[in-house]
Amino acid sequence: MLKRLHTYAIVTKKLTPLHLLRLSFSSPPSSADSDSNPEQPSTSPENDWDKLLDPFNLQQLRLSFNRITPYRLRKLLELPLDIPTSLRLFNWASAQRGYSHSYSVYFTIIQKLANAGEFSTVYELLLRSKEEGVVLKEPLFVLLIKCYCKSGMPDNAAKVLDEMSELFGCVPTFLSYNMALDLLVASGFYSDALDIFQKMLQRGISPTTFSFSVAMKAFCQIGKVDSACALLRSMARHGCVADSIIYQTLIHALCGQGSVDEASRLLDEMIHMGCPLDVNTFNDIIHCLCKFNRIQDAAKLLDKMIFRGYTPDAHTYGFLIHGMCKIGKVDKAKALLNQVPELNTVLVNMVICGYVKSGRFNEGEILFELMSHRHKPDVYTYSILIHGLCKIGRYGAALDLLGEMEASDMSPNVNTYTILIHSFCKAGFWDYANRILEEMSLKGLSLNSVGYNCLIYSLCKDGQLNEAMCLLEEMRTRGYKPDVYTFNALICHFCNDNQIEEALYMFQNMLAEGIEADTATYNILINAFLCIGEWREALKLTNEMMHQDCLMDNITYNILIKALCRVGEVDEGLCLLEEMVRKGTNPNNISYNLVIDGLCKSGRVHEAHQMLREMITRGSTPDIVTYNTLINGFCKMGQVRVGLNILERLNNEFIEPDVITYNILISWHCKEKMLDDASMLLIRMVQGGLVPNYRTWSILVHSFVQEPIDFILES
């Protein structure tokens, strides 16, 4: 009876100190201690687990009169024993008469081995369990899938799903597949996860909403957002309904690739389905709309968000304010600041930056003063204002603000100093730039890559190539690797100086250093070759650019269109314009102006006028350059009256004519001997607030000298 009580104490405790286990598995207690409590050690308990585990002796266990059972063995295997000891214990138990391992014992030993990465031994034990007739259950295989995924072995995880049914007779359910899908995606094995999802469908295992959610996430991660959206539409066939996580995943991915209209439709569907939304879902779409300058749509979505009871956060307002400032709607951005519940310095900085970039420094300065009373300006605030002052040529005021910044215990950072250095170099104030460099050095700051690039760019622009090359070497000496911007500055200088061979040499050096050329690099070189009429080399670079997956941008296309139109190949230029539209590179005003100019110079003025309509239809706004080109084209064809009609139309388009507009019309009226009309145009020009320039007077004087009239004195 005492022995049974003694054994009971062992097997019922969740964690019994090892010295008690040693006592329990040793010889039966003598009559002297038969009344003692078997759970109470005779000596004080040891707290150091290393010391408790160290005396574990399998030999004593072997000599024990207590019969080993699967339950007792599992309890022992759950102890923090090392792998060799655990395996010796497992094998010793196997050899005991009348003993056979249970599923729980196999689960415990395999769990310990799998967590330790001993997968070869795991596989041996799986085969051994099959020989012993132990029925393995799904949780064991789920455990193996988890361990394989964590160890970066996705193929083995997929193999488990195949073999658990074929070799071990355990049919996987959606639980096994969902675990594999989740772990593979979490570990970045997206293609492997999608393969498993396809097998799941092929084997007739009904996927759950979670299965679809993880598969869609995998598709989105590898850029196949359309495939993820197709999965959403197939969910109903499997009896599944999309949840918030699925919609949020797809909306985030669609916004990431710029498909904001599709994302907006999913948001409406999400609301219709009654799925809970959060502020991040709205933020994704608002951010994307602002990236595409669709500020009005973003503002409407903000109103919709508030109407439905969701509170915008700082990110929501930040996206809108930044978007408004980007398109010059700084006043609206400032008005939006008043709606922000918890205004912070970052949001105010955005508006100040918007004013500075729009050339309205004074208003930015006023906002800075107002901000100072409620929010402490940070380094970025001062850097914006210093940049604004330098931009309008107030370098002394910029240095004063730097001093004010330091006086308010705000230390300028490398970015602040870089702004000053770049501005001084750009203006040719090299002494001031050197002083800033010395001040940086005294404060323990050194130029970063951006600072070196600014200096090298300014030196190249100023024609100081030797100094730029010396700075390049210094940059390398200080451990900063030149990047594509560094080389672009040097290549641009060589091209502008008609040193094409040196530019190509620098280009080859850049590639040899493992630095990939960007679109700007190719644009500089292509333009340089076209300027000297080297079409073959320019086209060779264009092909190389596309081969390197370097996308052609507006500038690339405009360079090529300009060169084609210049040599009379206007139709080729038109083809390039259509290619831009087809490839999603939206033509800008310059693109259309170049084609319109080429058509007008080729006498195809009516096609040019049609191009104007097409330009407006595609969302581009004609500027004064566009209209000046058309006016000149019609006048050149003898249709001066049409040119005047275009001038009248400018008021309706809210475009102000400039001196060039009037010079074109005055010149053609003079050529057509319509001197009275030319004089009236001059009067209208002055009344419109424009000052005639040398070209205006030259045209008029030349014409009136040829045809003198008394009216000129009255004019």
pLDDT at 219: 92
Q: How far apart are CA 436 and CA 413, in angstroms?
A: 12
Q: Picking from 114-118, 364-368, 467-471, 595-599, which range would have the lowest pLDDT averaged per residue?
A: 114-118
Question: Which two three-digit tokens encode residue 552?
Answer: 């052609």
Of the listed ranges 36-45, 236-245, 648-657, the one predicted with least confidence: 36-45
pLDDT for res 250:
94
| Domain total of the chain | 1
User: In the predicted model, is pLDDT for residue 40 greater than 50?
Assistant: no
**690 lies in some domain:** yes
Q: Is residue 119 part of a domain?
A: no
Nearest CA to 313 out of 275, 355, 279 is that of 279
Residues in contact with 42: Cβ distance below 8 Å, sequence separation at least 6, in sequence order: none
Q: What local confidence, expressed as pLDDT, does residue 56 receive?
A: 52
How long a stretch of residues is the chain? 715
Residue 691 lies in a domain: yes
Measured distance CA(314)–CA(333) in Å, rounded: 14
CA pair distance 643, 628, nearest whole angstrom? 9
pLDDT at 66: 62
Residue 666: domain span: 658-715
Q: Which of 521, 516, 515, 511 is nearest to 490 (CA)?
A: 521
- Tell me if 374 is assigned to some domain: no
Question: When comparing pLDDT for 685 and 150, which is higher?
Answer: 685
Average pLDDT, the chain: 83
- Give the rounded percent of residues in the chain with a pLDDT score beyond 70: 89
**CB–CB of 541/518 below 8 Å?**
no
Q: Are 636 and 600 in contact (CB under 8 A)?
A: yes
- Residue 10 scores a pLDDT above 60: no
Say which residue the tokens 């030259």 belong to. Answer: 698
Closest by alpha carbon to 41, among 26, 22, 66? 22
Distance from C-alpha of 536 to C-alpha of 546, rounded to nearest angstrom: 16
pLDDT > 80? residue 589: yes
Q: Among 634, 655, 653, which Cα is nearest to 644's?
A: 634
Rounded to an integer, what distance in angstroms lies between the CA atom of residue 230 and that of residue 496?
52
**C-alpha 565, offset from chain centre:** 37
Q: pLDDT tens-digit profile of 264-316?
A: 999 999 988 888 888 999 999 999 999 888 999 999 999 999 998 888 999 99
CA 325/CA 581 separation, integer angstroms: 27
Paired tokens of 127? 């085969």
* Residue 62 pLDDT grade (very low, low, confident, very high; cuts 50, 70, 90): low
* Helix 465-477 / helix 484-496 crossing angle, nearest 10 deg: 170
pLDDT digits (tens, 9 = 90+) for 240-257: 898 999 999 999 999 998
User: Does a structural domain hold residue 317?
Assistant: no
Question: What's the longest Cα–Cα distance across the chain?
Answer: 146
Task: Tell me the per-residue pLDDT of 121-132, one tens digit each, with 9 for 90 and over.
Answer: 888 888 887 787
> Do 573 and 558 contact (CB within 8 A), yes or no?
no
Contact 575, 600 (CB under 8 A): no
Q: What is the pLDDT of residues 613-636, one digit of tens each?
A: 988 888 788 899 999 999 999 999
Share of the chain above pLDDT 90, in %: 27
Quick one: pLDDT at residue 322?
Answer: 93
Q: Residue 57 — pLDDT band, cuts 50, 70, 90?
A: low
Alpha carbon distance 687, 681 (integer Å): 10
CA dist 156 and 254 (Å) reads 33
- C-beta separation of 354 from 325 below 8 A: yes
- What is the average pLDDT across 563-585? 87
pLDDT for the residue 432: 87
What is the model's pLDDT at position 451?
85
Compare 528 and 120 and report the one with higher pLDDT: 528
* C-alpha count within 13 angstroms, C-beta hemisphere, residue 688: 17
Q: Which residues contact 324 (CB under 8 A, 6 or more apart)?
A: 295, 330, 332, 333, 336, 354
Asked if residue 237 belongs to a domain, the reply is no
Q: Per the domain annotation, does 685 fall within a domain?
A: yes
CA distance 83 to 75: 15
- Per-residue confidence (pLDDT) for residue 46, from 0 to 100: 38
- Is 697 part of a structural domain of the chain? yes
Residue 227 has pLDDT above 80, yes or no: yes
